[in-house]
Structure 1
Amino acid sequence: MTASVARVTTISVRSDTSFDDAVKAGVERASQTLRHVSGAWVKEQKVELTDGKVTSYHVVLEVTFVLDD
């Protein structure tokens, strides 16, 4: 039986558009640096406000990637 080993790393992403945009940007950026990205978990979401209006969206992602043999 062959086992695979994965690692999880935490990244923080900010978007001026939406939470969805922040998640997509984070996963795309992580995939440029890390090989074998297999998933991501949204650990935290928050917004930044100016004068009572949302100005940016922040997410903290736990990104999972499988280690090379």
Structure 2
Amino acid sequence: MAESVYKVIQLVGTSNESWEKAAAATIEQASQTLRDLRVARIVEQDIHIEPGKSLTYRVKMELSFKYEEGT
């Protein structure tokens, strides 16, 4: 098997419904511009609170994809 190299980036996604939807939305958005996504790791979860407004679920994730020269 040939050796491979992967690049890791950090993204933050949000949802007014759940952490799961925030994570899914982040991956879906990233997949529109990044190829060959491999692993997503949730680093942190939190909830943004503003009085009188709905809660905002946030996930900070590390997302890896296969590195190709020039990317």
TM-score (norm 1): 0.87
**Counterpart in the other structure of 1:18:** 18
Q: Percent identity?
A: 34
* 2:32 aligned residue: 32
Q: Displaced runs of 4+ in structure 1, greater than 6 A?
A: none
Unaligned runs of 5+ in 2: none
Pairwise CA distance, 1:13: 0.8
Question: 2 CA distance for matches of 1:43 and 1:25?
Answer: 16
Structure 2 CA distance, aligned partners of 1:54 and 1:4? 43
How far, CA to CA, are the matches of 1:61 and 1:55 in structure 2? 19
What secondary structure sits across from 2:10 in the alignment? strand
RMSD over aligned Cα atoms: 1.9
In 2, are the aligned partners of 1:44 and 1:61 still within 8 Å (CA)? yes
User: Which residue of 2 is the match for residue 41 of structure 1?
Assistant: 41
CA distance in 1: counterparts of 2:36 and 2:15, whole angstroms: 25
User: Gaps spanning 5+ residues in structure 1: where?
Assistant: none
1:65 deviates by 0.3
Deviation at 1:64, TM superposition (A): 0.5
Aligned pairs, how many?
69
Query: For 2:54 and 2:65, how far apart are their aligned partners in 1?
Result: 32
